């Protein structure tokens, strides 16, 4: 029970990577807030966790809305008494070459990935600082926090930006015992990626099988997808680590696609 009595606020946790993190945190003793745009799916995930004997609540929130984020974090703190861990994970993907991106699509991507990270951080830090027992802020970056791929300009830009936010939060949070780190997964077969496979096949004029083999997994050491479980284990390490020794870092989990 590495997270006994901790409270974790996990965005985008009604699906994919965030859901796996929420399930693992609950198994490790945390009380978990499933914060997602999809309220129905958030409630279903919270119910799944509650059925296993752990504690969770579902909260409907759009991470791009300051009002909604503040209300969701307040509701979570009220329900569980504190906020010890933030996982800023909610995200989407839109793929086009730069010249075909609309300004609205660009702004939407930056709003979800960067504004969402800022707003949830600001709202959760307030509680972590006031509680006086530290905390852990975890950002869901990507290999695209370190590396670029064609057709992903706003995603690559936003994911690189999270590293800057993380390093700043690590420096400011240190005196409060608040650590900040980024997880940088390679391709994980979640709904976000399932949607991209046919889109990329169309854009690149390839078969879907070739998109997986020759684009997504081409540079991994073994041609394997990273799994939600792989990412959740790293999220547990960052959440449970007890000191400021591990802060301001970004860890790549990608079957060797990107080596630093």
If you write DSSP's letter for every residue of 20-67 in order, what string do you get? HHHHHHHHTT-EEEEEES-HHHHHHHHHHHHHTT--EEEEE--TT-HH
Question: Binding residue for ligand NAD (CB under 6 A) from 9, 187, 238, 257?
Answer: 187
Percent of the chain as helix, strand, coil, to the nearest 5: 50, 15, 30
CB of 125 to ligand NAD, least distance (A): 19
Size of the site for ligand NAD (CB under 6 A): 28
157-186: which residues touch ligand NAD (CB under 6 A)? 185
Question: Binding residue for ligand NAD (CB under 6 A) from 46, 56, 57, 61?
Answer: 61
Q: What angle do CA 33, 35, 40 make, to 5 degrees?
A: 105
Backbone torsions φ then ψ of 183, nearest 5 degrees: -105, 135
As a whole number of angstroms, the distance between CA 13 and CA 251 comes to 20
Cβ distance 192 to 91 under 8 Å?
Answer: yes
As a whole number of angstroms, the distance between CA 253 and CA 245 comes to 20
C-beta of 108 vs 167, nearer to ligand NAD: 108
C-beta of 190 vs 247, nearer to ligand NAD: 190
Q: Is 129 a catalytic residue?
A: no
Question: Binding residue for ligand NAD (CB under 6 A) from 3, 8, 10, 17?
Answer: 17
Place of tokens 């046919």: 198
Question: Binding residue for ligand NAD (CB under 6 A) from 63, 119, 137, 239?
Answer: 63
58 binds ligand NAD (CB under 6 A): no
CB of 259 to ligand NAD, least distance (A): 16
Indicate left, alpha or beta for 29 from its phi (over 0: left) and psi (-120 to 50: alpha): left
**Which residue stretch of 47-55, 84-92, 99-107, 241-249 sits at the interface with ligand NAD (rule: CB under 6 A)?**
84-92
C-beta of 136 vs 190, nearer to ligand NAD: 190
Which residues are tagged catalytic? 155
Q: Given the rule CB under 6 A, which residues bind ligand NAD?
A: 11-12, 14-18, 36-38, 61-64, 89-92, 112, 140, 142, 185, 187-188, 190-193
């Amino acid at each position: 029970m590495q997270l006994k009595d901790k409270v974790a606020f996990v965005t985008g946790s009604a699906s994919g990577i965030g859901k796996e993190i929420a399930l693992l945190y609950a198994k490790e003793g945390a009380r978990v807030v499933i914060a997602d745009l999809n309220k129905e799916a958030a409630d279903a995930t919270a119910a799944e966790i509650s059925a296993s004997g752990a504690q969770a609540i579902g909260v409907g929130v759009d991470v791009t809305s300051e009002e909604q984020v503040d209300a969701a974090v307040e509701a979570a703190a009220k329900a569980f008494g504190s906020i010890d861990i933030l996982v800023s994970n909610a995200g989407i993907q839109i793929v086009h070459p730069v010249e075909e991106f609309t300004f609205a699509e660009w702004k939407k991507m930056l709003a979800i990935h960067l504004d969402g990270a800022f707003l949830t951080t600001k709202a959760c830090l307030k509680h972590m600082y006031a509680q006086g027992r530290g905390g852990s802020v975890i950002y869901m970056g990507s290999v695209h926090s370190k590396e670029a791929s064609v057709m992903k300009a706003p995603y690559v830009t936003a994911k690189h930006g999270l590293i800057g936010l993380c390093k700043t939060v690590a420096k400011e949070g240190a005196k409060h015992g608040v650590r900040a780190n980024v997880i940088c997964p390679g391709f994980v077969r979640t709904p976000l990626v399932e949607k991209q496979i046919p889109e990329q096949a169309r854009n690149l004029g390839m078969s879907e099988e070739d998109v997986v083999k020759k684009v997504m997994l081409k540079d991994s050491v073994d041609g394997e997808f990273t799994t939600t479980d792989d990412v959740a284990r790293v999220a547990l390490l960052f959440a449970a680590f007890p000191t400021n020794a591990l802060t301001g870092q970004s860890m790549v989990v990608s079957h060797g696609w990107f080596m630093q």
